[in-house]
Structure 1
Amino acid sequence: MDIRRLSYFVAVAEEAHFGRAAVRLGIAQPPLSRQIAQLEADLGALLFDRSRSQIRLTQAGMVLLERSRDILELIGQAEGEVRRIGEGSAGRLRIAFVGSATYGVLPDVIKAFRSEYPDVELSLSAMNNAELKRAAIQREIDIAVARPSLADEELKTEILHREPLILALPKSECPGGGGAVHLLGFRSSTFILYPRDPRPSFADHALKLCMDHGFIPGSQLMAQDFQTAISLVAVGVGLCIVPASVSLSQRAGVEFRPISEPNPGTAISLNYRRDNRTPHLVNFLRIARRFADRPPLRQDVRPSSVPAHPA
């Protein structure tokens, strides 16, 4: 069934006059009459009673008018929806991130994106770096927010934020003064490292910092993720090296202190497939670049409705 003929039919049915319908459609009356006649031939039913001075719908015509309005409305909705997805103002964007990213500028980027594109569904999930890399390459996610980055020839990386590393200490063991601490003074303490696997990971980054300060922690405890590590610090099991943005969200029983030099810091990056040119990704990157290397805008930095956080 020709959609154009359906629209012609609806115009004639609503106007109850071929001449007025032709004016409404912007076409001549003879071609319109031929289109309606062809539609009747295709359907094998008369749609109009032409025996009177004013045409009227037949029973078949009344059924077709009701169905045609629904069909044309659905087509219009589909066209609008597809167009909006093509423009990036509707559809879905899949973002996965390491848990510590929820304490930095990422939530501010997400909030800004939601404000500008409220009809785009954001699918948010937490993964470790190994999971992020696999999911990005396999096209299961659009954006991988990693720490510090993902190395693969199929992926492109943009640094979102750089920050120093700090020390998370049990409050009961925190030295006075409030200033920067020397890691070497904690060489006999238990260092809580994360994630447990896969390696290399942020745990190796923390160990490298300790070596830069002249020691390797003799007592190490591996936690599977960032949240578990901080929870262990809170109950006094040990201390943990974390990104500075983590201190924006206070945790009962935990004290955060700057680390003296050397401190190479860490970074959060946006990673995505080089061949991904979807408008949703382009729009997100455009907004994210406005926040690159800015400090977080608020203290409550965790995105809403976010699952548990791998490191």
Structure 2
Amino acid sequence: MDLAKLSAFTVVAEELNFRKSAERLGMSQPPLTRLIASLEEDLGVSLFQRTTRKVSLTAAGLLLFNEARSIFSKLEKIEADVRAVSKIKRGTLEVGFSQTAFLARLPKIIEEFKLRLPGVRFELNQFPRAELIRGLNAGKLDLAFHEGDSEFEGLSRSAVTDEIMGVLVPKTHVFAKRKEIEFRDLKNETLILHPRSENSDHFARISQLCRTAKIEPKTYIKKPHESCPILVATGKGLSLTIAPARDLAFQETRFIPIKSLFLPVSIYWKPENTNPSLKSFLSTTLENQLFKVQTVECL
């Protein structure tokens, strides 16, 4: 649809008078009449009812008028956002994250973004999921990176990456020499899990995977002061984690991928947030495809 025609139509719909509309648009009445007629021809409908005394909108015209106002309102906001982003020299982004999300692509994403806008400073804070959501809703955080793909009321979400899932095992474990395993291979193992209260969605996904694979592995629930790699190294069980965690693992452990299993990581933000640095971050990362997402089954 031609925006020039739509803009002219909107003025006529507001004025309901072709002469006044033409004056407002800085043109004579005949070209405006032809413009509206052309739009009606494009759409195949009548937009106005005309008599010698008045001009009124048809049902189709009223619908188009309401939609057009919404379109032009969004265009104005886009223009304002683009101008604000172009003026950014310095700024601050309050970023929250989970440990798993940080191990994924967060450092790389920030590094690549800072190459484009080096004046934006990142304040990084690690929180459990509930605190990340509260921080976004309270305006204390601009962004939150967290594993999973859940939707939360009042927040926008974009997929960041799908990380290869696997298990951290002691180097003496039978899996240690395998290139990969299948999830059902864990049936006789003990899985080290974070408490359900820390990430109920992740806990539920693992439970569903166990049901799908028809296995019932034993579980060890990690205590707040305990470290998963240390628990693995000391024989407490196997830890489900993502591939980048291998860089932090002890020499006494090995990371073994699980076939066709990936963990989604998402970024969340509040759409009402007016921080220009946030708009710049989102537009830059999305436009330049800094987020890398697989197209396979995820955890």
TM-score normalised per structure 2:
0.62
Question: Does the Cα contact within 8 Å between 1:195 and 1:202 map onto a contact in 2?
Answer: no
Aligned-CA RMSD value: 2.8
Q: Does 1:287 align with 2:284?
A: yes
Structure-to-structure mapping, 1:119-198, within 5 angstroms: 119-175=119-175, 177-198=177-198
Specify the SS of the correspondent of 1:169. strand
Of the structure 1 ranges 84-93 and 185-194, higher mean CA displacement relative to structure 2 is found in 84-93
Amino acid at match of 2:102: T
Distance 2:84 2:274 in 1: 16
Aligned to 1:253: 252
Distance verdict in 2 for CA 1:188–1:291, change over 3 Å: same
Question: Does the Cα contact within 8 Å between 1:156 and 1:271 map onto a contact in 2?
Answer: yes
Distance verdict in 2 for CA 1:140–1:128, change over 3 Å: same
Distance verdict in 2 for CA 1:197–1:252, change over 3 Å: farther
Distance 1:196 1:231 in 2: 20
Distance 2:290 2:150 in 1: 20
Distance 1:226 1:98 in 2: 16
Structure 1 or 2, whichever has the larger Rg, is 1
Q: Report how far residue 250 of structure 1 moved.
A: 4.4
Corresponding pairs, count: 210
Aligned to 2:235: 236
Distance verdict in 2 for CA 1:226–1:100, change over 3 Å: farther
Distance verdict in 2 for CA 1:257–1:199, change over 3 Å: closer
Aligned to 1:110: 110
Structure-to-structure mapping, 1:69-88, within 5 angstroms: 87-88=87-88
Specify the SS of the correspondent of 2:197. coil
Question: Does the Cα contact within 8 Å between 2:96 and 2:126 map onto a contact in 1?
Answer: yes
Aligned to 1:277: 274
Specify the SS of the correspondent of 2:172. helix
Report Cα offsets for 1:216-258 as digits up to 9, x if no partner.
22x2111257982233113221101112332354432221112
Distance 1:162 1:201 in 2: 16
Specify the SS of the correspondent of 2:206. helix
Distance 1:216 1:87 in 2: 56
Amino acid at match of 1:186: L
Distance 1:145 1:260 in 2: 25
Question: Does the Cα contact within 8 Å between 2:158 and 2:266 map onto a contact in 1?
Answer: yes
Question: Does the Cα contact within 8 Å between 1:167 and 1:257 map onto a contact in 2?
Answer: yes
- Unaligned runs of 5+ residues in structure 2 are 1-82, 295-299
Specify the SS of the correspondent of 1:114. helix
- Unaligned runs of 5+ residues in structure 1 are 1-82, 296-311
Distance verdict in 2 for CA 1:190–1:151, change over 3 Å: same
Question: Does the Cα contact within 8 Å between 2:129 and 2:199 map onto a contact in 1?
Answer: no
Distance 1:224 1:117 in 2: 40
Following superposition, which runs of at least 4 residues in structure 1 exceed 6 angstroms of deviation? 83-86
Structure-to-structure mapping, 1:198-217, within 5 angstroms: 198-217=198-217
Question: Does the Cα contact within 8 Å between 2:104 and 2:163 map onto a contact in 1?
Answer: no
Distance 2:115 2:259 in 1: 39
Q: Report how far residue 88 of structure 1 moved.
A: 3.1
Report Cα offsets for 1:259-280 as digits up to 9, x if no partner.
235x3x2211110001123220
